[in-house]
């Protein structure tokens, strides 16, 4: 496959804070038009992986290609849904304002937000099913509605690759269903989504392929082949915790020196 | 809580502000006849007074504006460290300028020194914060105290060298508008204008930065650069405010108006305008009052005016003020009691009448029965009945029975219907319901889709048998 068709290609990626590595030698390609789940225990480096892709954390080594080009060149084709907890939901803006933020890149610096932009934002809100909340202040939203707001903000970008950091965490069942429906619509439209996911029960139902991550990639490929009990045990338990303890001990020693 | 009531509160508060303002002006005007300085200040007779007051007002506007962003960025205290860090620069500029052939007492020279050491202070904060295992509060504490200490030491040296020239320098610590010249005030005016213009230019980008830094960075915004722009504006305002407010109290003008504005609104553009207004009023009155009493440090006066406005906002703020919140809670309690009463009367009699008639009308309920229904006290119940009576929803019969009026019946039917639809929805859609049940909504129709309501209505139809209004899905213990 030509490299510009591959939405995301990660080679030899290592991210480290001082001596403690966060992710090691991560390598995988994302197949276009798929919903890809990133699965792994807490502290496995899932969010860091997404942030490294977006150049938000410094890489110790590795190369990342988005649609065959550098992140900087392709960033307009990527939509990002951060963790819901990452922002202050008491911030004095309305739901529509937040969604419009997804359009700032298109609007450009020093230009006003036009009605056309607000209409686009409104349509995205209706797509995620909370059109009637457009004028509300964001602190009045429930957790699921907050998540939908973030999704709408990513949707207005009309990106080709979406990176989502735990969109399913602590949302109600209706929101979960709505998000799954949206992801499937996106896939039908030929888009690709890389989704950090926690709930092991729904992995097989939601994702075409998975990346099992615990500091390094334990296994990666089509869900049916890779999402096995054995691989899960290798991801969540066993020898990798030993490795973790070893680095922790090293760090402690370093601090005491 | 009705919206009209809220609007009334807002109007009242606005009137309150206006009257305080007018009283202040009126009282001052009365004194002015006697006191000549006062009248000169108040009627802006002097050109000097005029520009100083204008300068302080614009300074307050700019500070209120930029304060919103630093507060929302949770960087409010950097302004404090920055202003304290300017002191050594002022002292050094005073000492070194003559060696370079400048006038050590000229304001631009002193402010240049202040800006240089303030910038150094911010750089020091950023460096310390980047060190492992040191957090921002440590960085702020270290920089603030060390720079201020150094500044005090340098000033005392300067004082020993040329004691006669020192009076001007101390005004930077507590602020003294009385010593300002028209030229100084013009400098402040320009700083305020430039700060405001910069913020307007970057308004959207700064909003995004403050709300969601990670998203901004992912979208390719130069987050670091935007922070520098914000810090530069804070610096500009702080430096400009040194003479009028003083470096110790400058932080007040950067934080208090923005914090006060938060009580009035939930929208950023309004918050910014209100904050700028509170800032400018503080500057205006502060400078005017300290013009009348030249011995009073203007910084202290400005801060006290600012604090007064903050207190008013805290109490009467239209969006989150204490008064509004108390009233809103009371309104909610009344609305719930009212619904309980109307539904209570309706449901008490409804179960007796199992025949369908077109003019189904529940008979009167007696007080004891209603009292049994809920956990309300007898007094609460009586009050609620009186309120409903005055609204024309119920009436008291001679024998003490409480009966629904025509309007009361319609309202009760609506409430009962709404209530039961919600209950059914909760029971049949337990998996998704929790996030959507909105008992505050006037009607279930405002929240749920028409198709869903149609299905629920159908369900109710099946359950209700021959009755006009669907039976409560609860087991009815009171029957």
Partner-chain contact A92 B266, CB within 8 Å = yes
Report helix angle B107-130 to B223-241, nearest 10.
Answer: 140
Q: Quick: pLDDT tens for A176-207.
A: 888 999 999 999 999 999 999 988 888 889 99
Considering only CA atoms, which of B296, B303, B298, B172 is closest in space to residue B246?
B172
Instruction: Report phi then psi at A162, rounded to 5.
Output: -115, 135
Write the residue in A80, A91, A174 that is nearest to B432 by C-beta: A174
Which of B132, B214, B223 is most worth mutating to test chain A (most A CB atoms within 10 A of its CB)? B214
- Mean local confidence (pLDDT), B75-103: 89
**What is the DSSP track for A112-167?**
PPPHHHHHHHHHHHHHTT-GGGTTSBGGGS-HHHHHHHHHHHHHTTT-SEEEES-T
Partner-chain contact A113 B208, CB within 8 Å = no
Beta pairing partners, A164: A81, A195
- Model confidence at B478: pLDDT above 50: no
Partner-chain contact B201 A139, CB within 8 Å = no
Which residues in chain B are closer than 8 Å to A173, comparing Cβ atoms? 431-432
Which residues in chain B are closer than 8 Å to A80, comparing Cβ atoms? 214-215, 218-219
> What are the distances in angstroms from CA B83 to CA A101, B225, B243?
33, 21, 12
- The b/e string for B377-391 (b: 16+ C-beta within 10 A; e otherwise) is eeebbeebbeebeee
Partner-chain contact B212 A87, CB within 8 Å = yes
Tokens describing residue B163: 């004691």
Looking at residue B2, what is its pLDDT?
Answer: 47
Beta carbons of A47 and A196 less than 8 angstroms apart: yes
> Cα separation of B261 and B69, whole Å?
12
> Cα separation of A78 and A157, whole Å?
8
Asked if the C-beta of A256 comes within 8 angstroms of chain B's C-beta atoms, the answer is: no
- Model confidence at A241: pLDDT above 70: no
Q: Quick: pLDDT tens for B148-201.
A: 999 999 988 887 776 545 557 778 888 777 677 788 788 888 888 999 999 999
Looking at residue B473, what is its pLDDT?
Answer: 52
CA distance A172 to chain B (A): 7
> Cα separation of A175 and A167, whole Å?
10
Beta carbons of B179 and B55 less than 8 angstroms apart: no
Asked if the C-beta of A129 comes within 8 angstroms of chain B's C-beta atoms, the answer is: no
Give Dmax over CA atoms of chain B in angstroms: 105
Partner-chain contact B212 A82, CB within 8 Å = yes
Beta pairing partners, A39: A197, A212
Q: Hey, which residues 22-81 in chain A have their CB within 8 Å of chain B?
A: 51, 54, 56, 72, 75-76, 78, 80
CA of A171: which chain B residue's CA is closest? B435
What's the number of CA atoms in the CB half-sphere (13 Å) around residue A50?
28
CA of A170: which chain B residue's CA is closest? B435
Which residues in chain B are closer than 8 Å to A75, comparing Cβ atoms? 218-220
- Mean local confidence (pLDDT), A41-60: 90
Which residues in chain A are closer than 8 Å to B201, comparing Cβ atoms? 110
A208 pLDDT band, cuts 50/70/90, is: very high
- Mean local confidence (pLDDT), A211-228: 91
**What is the DSSP track for B50-109?**
HHHHHHHHHHHHHHHHHHHHHHHTT-HHHHHHHHHHTHHHHHHHHHHGGGGTS-TT-HHH
Partner-chain contact A145 B435, CB within 8 Å = yes
Question: Which positions ≥6 away from A227 have C-beta within 8 Å?
Answer: A39, A203, A204, A210, A212
Beta carbons of B77 and B145 less than 8 angstroms apart: no
Which residues in chain A are closer than 8 Å to B452, comparing Cβ atoms? none
**What is the DSSP track for B349-374?**
HHTT--S--TT-----B-HHHHHHHS
CA of B222: which chain A residue's CA is closest? A56
ipTM score assigned to the predicted complex: 0.87
Asked if the C-beta of A139 comes within 8 angstroms of chain B's C-beta atoms, the answer is: yes
Pairing of the two strands B394-396 and B402-404: antiparallel
Neighbours of A159 (CB within 10 A): 22
Which of B67, B132, B215, B229 is most worth mutating to test chain A (most A CB atoms within 10 A of its CB)? B215
> Cα separation of A190 and B401, whole Å?
69
Which residues in chain B are closer than 8 Å to A87, comparing Cβ atoms? 211-212
Q: Mapping DSSP to helix (H, G, I), strand (E, B) and coil, where does residue A88 land? A: coil
B465 pLDDT band, cuts 50/70/90, is: low
CA of B221: which chain A residue's CA is closest? A105
Identify which has the larger pLDDT, A141 or A256.
Answer: A141
Question: A70: which DSSP letter?
Answer: -
Looking at residue B436, what is its pLDDT?
Answer: 60
Beta carbons of A94 and A137 less than 8 angstroms apart: yes
Identify which has the larger pLDDT, B12 or B55.
Answer: B55
Tokens describing residue A36: 């890809």
Question: B317: which DSSP letter?
Answer: -
């Amino acid at each position: 496959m030509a490299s510009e068709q591959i939405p995301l290609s990660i080679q030899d990626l290592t991210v480290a804070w001082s001596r403690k590595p966060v992710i090691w030698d991560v390598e995988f390609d994302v197949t276009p038009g798929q919903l890809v789940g990133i699965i792994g225990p807490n502290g496995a480096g899932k969010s860091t992986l997404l942030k490294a892709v977006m150049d938000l954390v410094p890489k110790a080594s590795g190369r990342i290609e988005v649609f065959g080009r550098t992140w900087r060149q392709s960033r307009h084709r990527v939509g990002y849904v951060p963790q819901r907890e990452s922002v202050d939901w008491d911030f004095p803006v309305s739901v529509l304002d937040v969604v419009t933020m997804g359009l700032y890149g298109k609007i450009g610096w020093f230009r006003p937000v036009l009605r056309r932009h607000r209409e686009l934002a409104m349509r995205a809100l209706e797509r995620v099913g909370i059109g009637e909340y457009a004028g509300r202040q964001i602190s009045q939203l429930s957790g699921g509605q907050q998540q939908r707001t973030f999704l709408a903000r990513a949707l207005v970008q009309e990106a080709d690759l979406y990176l989502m950091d735990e969109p399913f965490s602590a949302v109600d069942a209706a929101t979960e269903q709505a998000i799954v429906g949206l992801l499937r619509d996106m896939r039908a439209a030929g888009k690709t989504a890389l989704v950090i996911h926690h709930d092991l029960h729904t992995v097989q139902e939601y994702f075409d392929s998975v990346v099992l991550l615990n500091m390094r990639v334990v296994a990666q490929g089509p869900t049916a082949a890779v999402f096995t009990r054995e691989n899960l045990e290798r991801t969540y338990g066993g020898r990798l915790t030993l490795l973790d303890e070893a680095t922790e001990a090293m760090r402690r020693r370093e601090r005491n020196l | 809580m009705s919206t009209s009531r809220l609007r009334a509160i807002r109007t009242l508060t606005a009137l309150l502000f206006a009257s305080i303002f007018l009283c202040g002006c009126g009282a001052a005007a009365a004194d002015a006849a006697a006191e000549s300085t006062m009248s000169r200040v108040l009627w802006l007779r002097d050109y000097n007074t005029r520009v100083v007051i204008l300068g302080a007002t614009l300074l307050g506007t700019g500070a209120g504006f930029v304060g919103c962003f630093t507060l929302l960025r949770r960087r409010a205290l950097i302004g404090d460290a920055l202003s304290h860090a300017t002191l050594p620069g002022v002292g050094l500029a005073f000492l070194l300028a003559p060696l370079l052939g400048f006038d050590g007492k000229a304001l631009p020279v002193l402010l240049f020194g202040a800006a240089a050491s303030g910038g150094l202070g911010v750089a020091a904060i950023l460096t310390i914060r980047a060190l492992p295992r040191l957090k921002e509060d440590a960085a702020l504490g270290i920089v603030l105290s060390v720079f201020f200490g150094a500044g005090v030491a340098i000033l005392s040296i300067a004082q020993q060298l040329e004691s006669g020239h020192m009076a001007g320098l101390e005004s930077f610590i507590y602020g003294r508008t009385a010593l300002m010249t028209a030229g100084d005030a013009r400098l402040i005016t320009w700083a305020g204008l430039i700060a405001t213009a910069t913020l307007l230019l970057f308004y959207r980008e700064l909003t995004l930065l403050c709300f969601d830094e990670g998203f901004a960075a992912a979208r390719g915004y130069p987050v670091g650069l935007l922070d520098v722009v914000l810090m530069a504006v804070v610096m500009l305002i702080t430096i400009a405010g040194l003479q009028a407010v003083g470096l110790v109290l400058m932080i007040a003008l950067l934080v208090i108006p923005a914090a006060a504005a938060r009580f009035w609104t939930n929208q950023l553009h309004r918050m910014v305008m209100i904050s700028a207004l509170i800032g400018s009023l503080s500057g205006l009155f502060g400078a005017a009052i300290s013009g009348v009493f030249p011995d009073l440090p203007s910084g202290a006066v400005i801060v006290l005016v600012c604090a007064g406005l903050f207190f008013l906002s805290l109490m009467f703020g239209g969006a989150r003020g204490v008064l509004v919140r108390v009233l809103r809670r009371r309104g909610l309690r009344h609305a719930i009691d009212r619904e309980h009463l109307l539904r209570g009367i309706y449901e008490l009699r409804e179960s007796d009448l199992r025949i369908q008639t077109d003019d189904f009308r529940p008979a009167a309920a007696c007080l004891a029965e209603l009292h049994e229904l809920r956990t309300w006290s007898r007094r609460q119940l009586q009050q609620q009945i009186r309120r409903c009576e005055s609204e024309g929803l119920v009436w008291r019969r001679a024998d003490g029975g409480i009966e629904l009026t025509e309007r009361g019946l319609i309202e009760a039917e609506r409430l009962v219907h709404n209530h039961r639809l919600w209950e059914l929805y909760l029971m049949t859609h337990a998996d998704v319901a929790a996030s959507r049940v909105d008992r505050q909504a006037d009607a279930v129709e405002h929240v749920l889709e028409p198709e869903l309501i149609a299905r629920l209505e159908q369900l109710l139809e099946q359950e209700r048998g021959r009755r006009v209004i669907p039976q409560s899905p609860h087991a009815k213990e009171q029957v």
